[in-house]
Amino acid sequence: MFKNYIKIAFRNLIKNKSQTFINVGGLTLGIICAIVIFLIIQFDLSFDKWHEDPDRIYRVVRHETEFGKSVYYRGGPYPLAEAIRNDVTGIEHSTLVFNNLSNEPIISYYDNGNLVKKLKESDFAFVDPDYFNIFTYKWLSGNPETAIKNPNTAVVTQSFAMKLFGTTDVLGKSVVFNGGTPADIEITGVVKDMPENSDFPFTFIGANSTMDRNGETAENPSWGSNSSSMQTYVKLESGITEEQVNEQLEALIVKYRSEEIAAELDLFLQPLSEIHFDSRFNNYNGRVIEKNMLLALGIIGLFLLIAACINFINLNTAIAVSRSKEVGLRKTLGGTKSQLMFHFFGETAFITLIALALGVGLSEIVLQNISPVLGFSPEMNLLSNVELQLFIISIFLLVTLLAGWYPAQHLSNFNPIEAIRNKIQSNYGKGLTLRRGLIIVQFTITQVLIICTLIMASQIRHFKNQDLGFEKEAVIHVPIQNEDMPILNLFKSSLLNKTTIQNVSFSNTGTTSNSVWGGNYIMIEDSIRHENSGQVKFIDENFIDTYGLTLLAGTNIQPSDTVNAYIVNESFAKEVGYGDNFSDLIGKTTSMWGTEAPIVGVIKDFNTQSLHEGLSPVLLAPRKSFFQSAIKINTSRTKEALGEIERAFNTAFPDLVFEYSFLDESIENMYEDEQRTAKIMNAFTLIAIIIGSLGLFGLVSYMSTTRTKEIGVRKVLGANLLDILKLFGTELALLTGISFVIAAPISWYLMRNWLEEFAYKIELGIGIFLLALSGILLISVLTIGYKSLRAALSNPIESLKSE
């Protein structure tokens, strides 16, 4: 019997080609979205699950109350891992992971004193030997127990070995880390690359006990110095709870620092399973995704699938009328209601299967092209991914039930006598029919997506157009790692000789950076003590000119190797109670990191971080602590300028690798997450619109055929083109209006929460909502326009004759 169902289903598909296209096309789109979203969620949920005993692995993180504000940090003090080993019970292993983020090192391979190859590698870490007892690696060579027991040893991944040495047979070979004296680091192990779903993507893992050179290791006995480049990981003994350890961590602060500090500082364990999801802390992978975001993504996927099912239900109940004769006959010939239900379910199942097959195939293609947008590449592995198989089966059952139930119910309920005589009328009734309700649901989903997408786009545009307080155009950043002033000066003067270069400045971080240097500044005046957190930038005398900053009062700094003056910003002046009286602040004394010096100038506020963050007090000071050169060029000769910079760089720093970035592009990249989200949302919105339009098109084409006679009669009775178009348009406008009323507050609520993240945000005005409404109206009109116009323009004689 099932064969018969399939057969007739297949013939129906062939017969109603446009309907098949809409059903299968819409469902396929919905299924592609569902599968791709499923794989993204599955990928994100799979991070670092394969380590042995993952539920016993933790990172020690820090919470501080700073001037009444709660702040979370992932880094801790250098001696913490060692102290945990000595003083805390219940710990099986602990390790410091040191990875200096502001300083991308160069690793060079010399053979018999000749440079073979050098690489700039940001995914490096220096760790304690216990690191390999906490995290699970697949070893290709070397001994995990002893590999990094001794100083100047390192373990590398397979792909790193291939990149630097051209082979994985590298045990005993040595590399030079960050130039300097050739105190070689010996390669003592090769491990397989970490899979893509790991937040520990290190390729070069060195022993922490390695001699300090150029700051690449962290030997620092201070408990007061914290940095996100020093993180502590532990593995608890089995049966030990987080709380048991957290209590002891509190005692450590009291022991090594003081009771007062312990009152404002907490150290606590963060489970490995949270590292990928807790946005209060970052991770080495650089991508943290809140579980809420995954949930939102899942809901979008479900909604798109529902939207596709709605097309199916609407179209199939609409055309049910034309199958009434078949239903009547089948009943007359002995078909029971349940047999007919089963029959129609079978047809839905068949269409769903076709859409699933297409969806799975096309998802594979989508996945291959989506990684530039996502920043990672989830894989399908249909044959081995059992969860995906179950998911696909669930989609099949869900879609078949969701899309098949109502049409099957509706069709099999037909009275056989009326059905045979074609007396079943299309139930295009008045009031809120199921079909209208479903269209409203579908329109609401689409409108929420459209409004959210528009708001995101407008927020990103807002970021791009915001005045940052300096000139971001035509500035090239070139990282430098050299504190030898004569060489730096040589580099600078060789650049300034060129007509393509306007200015050159050295500083620690440039104007705007993800790397923030800061601490508490103190200013004492008339026995009033101002203390607050601020940022510090170490600059040279060309900084203000190169970036086009505006000096509001006082003078620029003079060249100096150590801090002997401060330039502060407007926010600083306000914080210390000077408001707009900038010149009164000149000559006053302030201190940062214990260095007291006079304030010599006040500059206009500028944004030192992405616009997620607001302005904060900034102190600029001369000090030879330079990691970055900023070069202002003549934009009409960019290519020539870049060539000259590279030549000057290679002459001045033969051991370094030349790299550059444009400041405006780096700033734009700070909104990569938002741009990525916006791109994904764009895609989903487009798909929702296509699914919605397909459904609408199907319904209107059906309506125009079933109402041909009505239209003919109306025209004969004197209706004009507009009257006929109104027949189709009025209802659509009403449904769009109702769904807008539902969608607008939902999107407003969602987007208000999203915008909370940004210090600089757009106002949620009515304009953007109206734009979305007109957008969907336009799309609807375009979708139904052709069909309804054709129906309206048809010769009434033709339509009446056909009846």
Partner 1 sequence: MIQAKNLKKVYSTEEVETTALNNVNIEIKEGEFVAIMGPSGCGKSTLLNIMGLLDNPSDGEYHFLGHDVSNRTERERAQLRKGNIGFIFQSFNLIDELTVFENVELPLLYLGMSADERKEKAEAALERMSMMHRRNHFPQQLSGGQQQRVAIARAVVANAKLILADEPTGNLDSDHGNEVMKVLAELNEQGTTIVMVTHSPHDADYAMRVIHLFDGHVVTENMQEGFHV
Question: In sequence order, what DSSP letters do the residues of 629-653 get, joined into one string?
Answer: EEEEE-GGGHHHHHHHHHHHHHHH-
* Cβ nearer to partner 1, comparing 7 with 49: 7
**In the complex, minimum distance from the CB of residue 15 to partner 1, in angstroms, rounded to a whole number:** 7
Of 768, 749, 686, the closest CA to residue 461 belongs to 768
Which tokens belong to 673?
A: 């997450």
**Cβ atoms 143, 190 nearer than 8 A:** no
Q: How far is the CB of 331 from partner 1 (least distance, A)?
A: 7
Closest contact distance (angstroms) between CB of 328 and partner 1 is 8
Residue 159 contacts residue 170 (beta carbons within 8 Å): no
The answer to whether 317 and 410 are in contact (CB under 8 A) is: yes
Nearer to partner 1, 19 or 178 (CB): 19
H or E element, residue 91: strand 91-98
- Please, which residue, 2 or 50, has the CB nearer to partner 1? 2
Q: Which is nearer to partner 1, 9 or 97 (CB)?
A: 9
Q: How far is the CB of 356 from partner 1 (least distance, A)?
A: 24
Q: Which is nearer to partner 1, 323 or 537 (CB)?
A: 323
From its phi and psi, is residue 106 left (phi > 0), alpha (psi between -120 and 50) or beta? beta
Instruction: Kindly state the smallest distance separating residue 425's Cβ from partner 1, in Å.
Output: 14
Helix and strand totals (H; E) in the chain: 24, 24
Please tell me the total number of residues recorded for the chain in this structure.
Answer: 803
| Cβ–Cβ under 8 Å, residues 364 and 379 | no
User: Cα 510–515–516 angle (5° rounding)?
Assistant: 90
CB of residue 413 to partner 1, shortest distance in Å: 10
Contact 168, 17 (CB under 8 A): no
Pseudo-torsion of CA 609, 615, 621, 627, nearest 10°? 0
Q: Which of 771, 775, 768, 681 is nearest to 301 (CA)?
A: 681
Closest distance to partner 1 from the beta carbon of 330 (Å) = 7
Residue (332 or 425) nearer to partner 1, CB: 332
Q: Which is nearer to partner 1, 331 or 787 (CB)?
A: 331
Least distance (Å) from partner 1 to the CB of residue 387? 38
Q: Which is nearer to partner 1, 333 or 766 (CB)?
A: 333
The dihedral region occupied by 171, where left means phi > 0, alpha psi between -120 and 50, and beta the remainder, is beta
Dihedral Cα 167, 171, 174, 175, nearest 10 deg:
50
* Angle (nearest 5°) at CA 215 between 211 and 221: 75
Q: Which residue has the tokens 């062939």?
A: 14
Question: Based on CB atoms, which residue is closest to partner 1, 273 or 339?
Answer: 339
Closer to partner 1 by Cβ: residue 148 or 408: 408
Nearer to partner 1 among residue 1 and residue 722 (C-beta): 1
Cβ 417 to partner 1, closest distance in Å?
A: 5
DSSP per residue, 145-187: TTTTSSSSEEEEEHHHHHHHHSSS--TT-EEEESSSS--PEEE
**Identity of the residue, 282 or 324, whose beta carbon is nearer to partner 1 in the bound complex:** 324
Say which residue the tokens 């989609």 belong to.
395
Instruction: State the minimum distance, in angstroms, from the CB of residue 306 to partner 1.
Output: 30
Cα distance between the two ends of the chain: 35
The CB-of-696 to partner 1 minimum distance in angstroms stands at 27
Rounded-to-integer distance, Cα 539 and Cα 620, Å = 7
Q: Is 210 exposed, middle or buried (0-12, 13-18, 19+ CB in 10 A)?
A: buried
What is the Cα–Cα distance from 803 to 708, expressed in whole angstroms? Answer: 9
In the complex, least distance from residue 396 CB atom to partner 1, rounded to whole angstroms: 24
Of 167 and 425, CB closest to partner 1: 425
Q: Quick one: 14 or 717, whose CB is closer to partner 1? A: 14
Binding site for partner 1 (CB under 8 A): 1, 4, 7-8, 11-12, 15, 325-326, 329-337, 339, 416-417, 420
Instruction: Provide the minimum distance between the beta carbon of 345 and partner 1 in the complex, in angstroms, as a whole number.
Output: 16
Rounded to the nearest whole angstrom, what is the least distance from the CB of residue 684 to partner 1 in the complex?
Answer: 37
SS (H, E, C) 427-473: CCCCCCCHHHHHHHHHHHHHHHHHHHHHHHHHHHHHHHHCCCCCCCC
Q: Which is nearer to partner 1, 1 or 766 (CB)?
A: 1
Question: CB of residue 377 vs partner 1: minimum separation in angstroms?
Answer: 45
- Separation between Cα atoms, residue 234 and residue 246, nearest integer Å: 12
Phi/psi class of residue 94: alpha, beta or left (left: φ > 0; alpha: ψ in -120 to 50)?
A: beta
